[in-house]
């Protein structure tokens, strides 16, 4: 099996796990604030990565360290805080729809910041097809679109900072350090940059909430699975495939959310959602082709 194929598998695995986190976060928001979920999740991820590889990452000073700081700020502190707060003001479906623009934003950032020629005609055709599919899946036959300006703006900003994070990860991968150590460093900076928010926003340790086995399970799932493991596999995929190709896999997330909602919440999958799934898969194939 070739390296490129493994990169695709890593990206697919990552978005499958991340596609289930909308439901996990929505459930945890009943007992935790967005900041508490964010902090506990990445503390767990950071500790797991420390256990896996405890040695220190020796960089070439601030010339490289600044990229880790930027990645921690964009990919950890800002992205997840914006996304979790957005879920308080708007619907999970709206957040999912807005974040479907991430591949397009990543392509723009890749072209203008990295100079990579990513805006091909096939990319635009695939983007439109996948976006139609995302819309069909999210609204699942309903024609009612409810706008919540605060939440929707926060979700869009989350997409912007994630696109920047993908570009930073591409740069970090060129340093050829261990993926585990790089991910751990990014988590560490993300947690440090989160500390000021702990002082001014609603944050409580409240460990008694972990007596609820569901809360414990979902936090461990987010911390170990969706953070420690998936951030590593995503970084590795970006290194192999590039930020734009990897970000296209984000379109798979609504499909995973759809299936998970059907299995866990008992929601019905309609024929419109199935057509949407076909549009997404077709869009992925088209956008990945050069000619």
Q: What is the DSSP letter of 266?
A: -
**In sequence order, which residues have a C-beta less than 8 Å from that of residue 220 and are 6 or more positions away?**
44
Give the C-alpha separation, 23 to 26, whole Å: 5
Ordered by start, the domain boundaries in the chain are: 3-287
3-state helix, strand, coil in the chain (%, to 5): 80, 0, 20
Low-confidence ranges of the chain (pLDDT < 50): 143-144
Q: What is the pLDDT of residues 32-50, one digit of tens each?
A: 988 898 899 999 999 999 9
Tell me how far apart the 2 most distant CA atoms of the chain are, in Å.
Answer: 57
What is d(CA 257, CA 8) in angstroms, rounded to the nearest whole number? Answer: 20
The predicted pLDDT at position 143 comes to: 47
Two tokens at 149? 């300006």
CA atoms within 13 A on the CB side of 227: 31
């Amino acid at each position: 099996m070739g390296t490129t194929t493994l990169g695709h598998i890593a990206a697919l695995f990552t978005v499958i796990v991340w596609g289930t986190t909308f439901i996990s976060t929505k459930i945890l928001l009943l007992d935790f604030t967005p900041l508490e979920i964010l902090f506990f999740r990445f503390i767990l991820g950071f500790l797991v990565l420390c256990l896996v590889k405890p040695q220190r990452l020796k960089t070439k000073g601030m010339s490289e360290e600044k990229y880790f700081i930027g990645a921690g700020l964009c990919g950890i502190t800002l992205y997840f805080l914006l996304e979790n707060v957005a879920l308080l003001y708007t619907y999970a479906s709206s957040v999912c729809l807005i974040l479907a623009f991430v591949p397009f934003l990543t392509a723009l950032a890749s072209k203008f910041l990295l100079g990579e020629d990513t805006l091909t005609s096939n990319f635009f055709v695939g983007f439109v097809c996948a976006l139609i599919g995302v819309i069909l899946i999210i609204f699942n036959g309903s024609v009612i679109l409810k706008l919540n300006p605060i939440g929707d703006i926060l979700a869009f900003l989350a997409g912007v900072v994630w696109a920047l994070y993908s570009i930073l990860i591409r740069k970090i991968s060129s340093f050829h350090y261990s993926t585990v150590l790089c991910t751990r460093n990014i988590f560490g900076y993300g947690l440090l940059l989160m500390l000021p928010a702990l002082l001014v926003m609603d944050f409580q340790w409240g460990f008694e909430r972990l007596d609820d086995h569901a809360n414990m399970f979902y936090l461990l799932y987010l911390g170990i699975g969706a953070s420690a493991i998936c951030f590593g596999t995503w970084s590795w995929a970006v290194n192999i495939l590039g930020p734009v190709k990897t970000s296209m896999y984000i379109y798979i997330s609504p499909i995973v959310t759809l299936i998970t909602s059907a299995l866990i919440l008992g929601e019905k999958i309609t024929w419109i959602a199935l057509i949407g799934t076909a549009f997404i898969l077709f869009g992925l194939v088209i956008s990945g082709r050069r000619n």
